[in-house]
Amino acid sequence: MVITDTHTHLYSEQFNEDRDIVIKRAIDAGVSRFFIPAIDSTYFESMLSLEKAYPENMFLLMGLHPTHVTKNVQEELAFVKSWLDKRPFYGVGEIGIDLYWDNSFLKEQQDAFKLQIEWAKEKKLPIVIHCRDAFNEVFEVLEETKGDNLFGIFHCFTGNLEQAEKAISYNMKLGIGGVVTFKNGKIDQFLNSIPLKHIVLETDAPYLAPTPYRGKRNESSYIVNVLNKVSEIYNLTPEEVAHITTQNSKTVFGI
């Protein structure tokens, strides 16, 4: 059984003490494909180190995370573009809009989102969207930029059925993680209305650990808890869900 974690920040400082142990635990659990989204330039060397240590397992993305869109946004975007032009990546992400922490850079977030979408289209790469308290704003940008050459993953999807269907209409898969296991997560109530071909699995480690680890550091091996919950929702075996969602990830990332 091959499980794909389509979104994990294994380079995070939260793994500095036991990164190799965490990765081994995930591989032993059946997770052999890890897609690694970027945050900003300060983490990039750590991402490269991860890829160098596990070249068969780690697949890097490049982008500027919306919560890291601040006064130095132009410098950070120039860094992203220089690396996108320098070497291959498997996607542009994570990018998007986050109004949960701060909305003072909304205009800059919107502009950075649009620009990075254009770069993804030029490179024929998928995008990985971060959206928090910003569904309307994200959909507005997707409406402006939609087309056959726009595709990717709506990471950490936490919306309702209508928003799920809208995201899918823009050629996005839904990234389903720990929230599906939460009692108040709500997405488990309608997820089986969405065909499984539109779903990929993720952890967002070290964030958003699934039940029973909620509130603790998340890690990629915990995707098994997400897999089991999704299997229950769709009334399929974990093997079937792992196979279908891994195929879906291959459709997105091309590997």
Residue-wise pLDDT for 128-143, tens only, equals: 999 999 999 999 999 9
* pLDDT confidence of residue 72: 96
| Residue 233 in this model has a pLDDT that exceeds 90 | yes
Confidence of residue 103 (pLDDT cuts 50, 70, 90): confident
pLDDT mean across residues, the chain: 97
Please state the pTM of the whole predicted model: 0.97
Q: In 3D, which of 121, 213, 216 has the Cα closest to residue 226?
A: 213
Render pLDDT for 160-205 as a digit per residue (tens, 0 to 9). Answer: 999 999 999 999 999 999 999 999 989 999 999 999 999 999 999 9
